Amino acid sequence: MQKTASPGIATRTPEGILHTLSGITLLLLAAQFLIGMVVNLYVQIPSVHPGTRTSNYFQGVGQGVVWVLGQGSLSLVVHAALGLILALISIFLIGFAIAARKRVWIFLSVAGWIGIVGAGFNGVSFLNYGHDFSSLLMSVGFLLAMISYTISFSLGR
């Protein structure tokens, strides 16, 4: 009697991979939201740290992220690291959407990526400059990503 192995991620269809990654991304976004609320409520960010006084915005983003990952509080480190992981997964989702040749998946994956990247850049802007508007834009990016990946996840059923 021959046993059949359950299909691994390498043997699944692009649509199946998209569905699975969309579900994982939704769970990670929920965790990111909760950790972000902990950071918002309980972490005091110093007004001066690497990244706050740079004349080049993108250089400041890099310095701020490196500072957080190396010297931030545990919840801030987890929040930043999870944001980077989400950005990476969102790129994979775009690649699998293109491989699946499904326009709606491509559109939703790109929209989710824009939301995640927008939230990330505005998170670092809030870290470096402390403007409440950056925090608002971070939440808008999060919401765009959640909506995009929720729709994507529902397409897989």
DSSP secondary-structure letter at 130? -
Checking if the pLDDT of 149 tops 90, the result is: yes
Residue 113 belongs to some domain of the structure: yes
Work out the angle between the directed axes of helices 103-129 and 74-100 (0-180°, nearest 10): 160
User: What pTM value is reported for the model?
Assistant: 0.89
In-domain check, residue 104: yes
On whether residue 97 sits in a domain, the answer given is: yes
Q: At 15, is the pLDDT very low, low, confident or very high (cuts 50, 70, 90)?
A: confident
- Residue 130's domain comprises 14-41+57-155
pLDDT digits (tens, 9 = 90+) for 88-147: 999 999 999 999 998 999 999 999 999 999 999 999 999 999 999 999 999 999 999 999
Identify whether 19 is part of a domain: yes
Write out the two tokens for 10. Answer: 């390498």
Q: Is residue 6 part of a domain?
A: no
- Residue 3 inside a domain? The answer is no
Judge contact between 123 and 138, C-beta under 8 A.
yes
Burial (Cβ within 10 Å: 0-12, 13-18, ≥19) of residue 73: middle
Q: Is the sign of the CA dihedral 39, 42, 43, 44 positive or negative? A: positive
Counted domains in the chain: 1
